[in-house]
Copies of this chain bind each other. A is one copy, B any other.
Amino acid sequence: MKLLLLHADFMEWEPTKPALRSAEPTTKERKRVDDALVVMISVEEGDDEEKIGPAADSIEEQFQRVKPSRIVIYPWVHLSQRPSKPYTALTIIKELARELERRGYEVHRAPFGWYKAFTISVKGHPLAELSRSF
């Protein structure tokens, strides 16, 4: 699993077209989230539910460090050379979002399996960008 944690002033996305047969049901509405820790995520071959706890710990640690208001989980296959099958990726991503909600965070999740237009504004401080591999 690869994560890229970005401390963002805002992120917006708009699903344009399904990219996979397994694209999640969603609307094509543009969505905007302000003051967020954006978690760009690639689930990789061999990943299973055992990665969820450590990933959530790492996200929580970074959240406490940079103190945004909420979390965005954004599926982004480009972080990995060996992505998992889509079904596995979606299952793990959903479970990670639920785990973070259980820990009390406000979590927004961009739909999986769609081409999406997006705009992100990343802050410029030294902790604003952090990559993690599990």
Contact = CB atoms under 8 A, between A and B. Distances in A.
Contacts of A81: 133
- Please tell me the size bucket of the interface on A: 20 to 34
Interface string A9-32: 000001111010000000000000
Interface string A97-125: 00000000000000000011111111111
A124 B117 contact: yes
A115 to B, nearest CB: 5
Given A17-B126, A126-B19, A78 B119 contact: no
Contacts of A122: 117-119
Interface of A: 4, 14-17, 19, 77-79, 81, 115-126, 128-129, 131, 133
B121 A119 contact: yes
Contacts of A118: 121-122, 124
